[in-house]
């Protein structure tokens, strides 16, 4: 398996260094690592370029689907892995990918949840409880669940479905992608295939409000094939 890791980044100078350090430590067998600078005006690009072997490309058109789409065109691997710029890998992440795809040839995508490394204890407890109560149940009922900040996909399948939907800037993009991929093969979600990430968005947006928005957008995408809201995280 030739796995290209794509990391979209917009003004992530506080996090991109630690992210790439974890990739350097635990993702040594990755085929390539690509950081897509999505119009940053801080030191994101400068920091990313200090890491040997990391390819840094610019995508000036703002928005997560454009940054992720640029990763498709720049990559040379047979599989694409996506994480966010504030994520940290752990030792079992890469071996889990190999094991799961080798065990199930019908699988086109593997995804899993976040674990938060900087939330207060009580907030972290409720955040993890939210994941355990919602994600396995949704996966069991619908048959697919995908988190766009932690997933691996066969590049050919992603191209076959037309890539990412550029009309969905934030909420609902995960489910839209998972739904379309599921028409071509198994979209698997495992709670033990996780990445560590910052809980900053939960803190700024409010934990329960954020989970509510994600939940509503999941339901709307599954039932109506469109997001509940198209709000961008930066708005």
pTM above 0.75, yes or no: yes
Q: What is the pLDDT of residues 183-222, one digit of tens each?
A: 999 999 999 999 999 999 999 999 999 999 989 999 999 9
- Using 50, 70 and 90 to split pLDDT, how confident is the model at 235? very low
Q: Residue 233 pLDDT more than 70?
A: no
Q: What is the pLDDT of residues 57-100, one digit of tens each?
A: 999 999 999 999 999 999 999 999 999 999 999 999 999 999 99
H/E segment holding residue 130? helix 121-142
- Using 50, 70 and 90 to split pLDDT, how confident is the model at 5? very high
Neighbours of 137 (CB within 10 A): 11
H/E segment holding residue 106? none
Q: What is the pLDDT of residues 40-51, one digit of tens each?
A: 999 999 999 999
**Phi and psi at residue 197, to the nearest 5°:** -150, 165
- Round to whole Å and give the CA distance between 49 and 176: 32
Neighbours of 22 (CB within 10 A): 19
Neighbours of 44 (CB within 10 A): 24
Give the pLDDT score at 87.
Answer: 98
Q: What is the pLDDT of residues 121-176, one digit of tens each?
A: 999 999 999 999 999 999 999 999 999 999 999 999 999 999 999 999 888 999 99
In the three-class reduction of DSSP (H, G, I as helix; E, B as strand; rest coil), residue 147 is classed as: coil
Give the pLDDT score at 234.
Answer: 45
Name the CATH architecture for the domain at 3-224: Alpha-Beta Complex (3.90)
For helices 173-182 and 207-224, angle between their N-to-C axes, nearest 10 degrees: 30
Cβ atoms of 113 and 127 closer than 8 Å = no
User: Rounded to whole angstroms, what are the CA distances from 47 to 12, 54, 82, 120?
Assistant: 10, 11, 19, 28
- Round to whole Å and give the CA distance between 90 and 44: 22
């Amino acid at each position: 398996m030739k796995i290209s890791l794509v990391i979209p980044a917009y003004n992530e100078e506080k996090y991109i260094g630690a992210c790439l350090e974890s990739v350097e430590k635990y993702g040594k067998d990755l085929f390539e690592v690509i950081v897509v600078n999505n119009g940053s005006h801080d030191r994101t690009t400068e920091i990313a370029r200090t890491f040997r072997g990391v390819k840094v490309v610019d995508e000036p058109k703002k928005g997560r689907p454009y940054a992720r789409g640029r990763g498709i065109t720049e990559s040379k691997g047979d599989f694409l892995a996506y994480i966010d710029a504030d994520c940290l890998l752990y030792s079992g992440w890469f071996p889990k990918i190999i094991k799961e795809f080798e065990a199930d040839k019908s699988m086109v995508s593997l995804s899993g949840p976040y674990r938060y490394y900087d939330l207060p204890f009580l907030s972290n407890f409720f955040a993890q409880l939210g994941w355990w109560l919602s994600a396995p149940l949704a996966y069991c009922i619908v048959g697919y669940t995908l988190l766009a900040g932690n997933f691996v996909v066969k590049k050919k399948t992603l191209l076959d479905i037309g890539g990412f939907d550029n009309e969905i800037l934030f909420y609902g993009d995960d489910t839209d992608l998972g739904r379309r991929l599921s028409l071509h093969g198994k979209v698997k979600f495992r709670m033990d295939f996780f990445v560590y990430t910052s809980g900053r968005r939960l803190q700024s947006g409010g934990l329960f409000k954020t989970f509510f928005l994600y939940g509503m957008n999941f339901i709307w995408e599954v039932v109506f094939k469109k997001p509940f809201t198209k709000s961008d995280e930066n708005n």
